[in-house]
Amino acid sequence: MDESPAPDEHLARLMARAQQGDSNAYVTLLRAITPRVRQLVRARRGFLGESDVEDVVQEVLLSVHAVRATYDPARPLMPWLSAIVRHRLADAGRRHVRQGAHEMGVDDLDVTFQAPPANSREETFGDSDALAQAIQALPPGQRQAVELLKLRELSLKEASALTGMSIGALKIATHRAIATLRRALRASDER
């Protein structure tokens, strides 16, 4: 009789293949566990917003990737995965409490006066073509930093994970890129 394998056994087999470097098995595994991880995160941390839940899910996936060698293929996968989720949730909870202790909610306030002279030229800059050209002209490292941090709005940690650059290097690259862009746009504006 042809029976499909039990889900956990199937996941364990996928992980065993992923440990041998099988990319397809790994992607299949990650896609299969993501809804479960999301469900676990939502169930245990009701206070997190939707974007926070997704942050924790991604953190769990990065952790699974980083410590996949600790999985013993002879054992079921879910207890191993649940332990990672539990501990990453605890980390997220600690972060949440820390931020809550140091941040204070305020009403939305106008950051500038309504009158046009009070607003700087940078804030009203509207030539998107010139901006795109200036970004393209940046050195590769700076361009990547701007694209990830400013355009795609990734966190420093996520950008660091993607590029392999340290957080400090990303900050420096972004700072230099912004300075270069400011000079380039000012020059194009004057022309």
Q: Which of 5, 7, 8, 73 binds other proteins (CB under 8 A)?
A: 73
DSSP structure string for 54-92: HHHHHHHHHHHHHTGGG--TTS-HHHHHHHHHHHHHHHH
Q: Could you tell me how many residues of this chain bind other proteins (CB under 8 A)?
A: 44
Question: What amino acid is encoded at 160 in this protein?
Answer: S
Judge contact between 159 and 62, C-beta under 8 A: no
Fill in the per-residue mask, 116 to 155: x = in contact with other proteins (CB under 8 A), - = not in contact.
------------------------------------x-x-
Q: Is residue 156 near other proteins by the rule CB under 8 A?
A: no
Provide, for the chain, the percentages of residues in helix, strand and coil under a 3-state DSSP scheme, each rounded to the nearest 5: 70, 0, 30
Supply the minimum distance, in Å, between the C-beta of residue 142 and other proteins. 16
CA distance 32 to 35: 7
Return the range that interacts with other proteins (CB under 8 A); candidates 5-13, 17-25, 105-113, 179-187: 17-25
What residue ranges bind other proteins (CB under 8 A)? Answer: 18-24, 26-27, 30-31, 34, 54, 57-58, 61-63, 65-73, 75, 79-84, 87, 152, 154, 158, 160-165
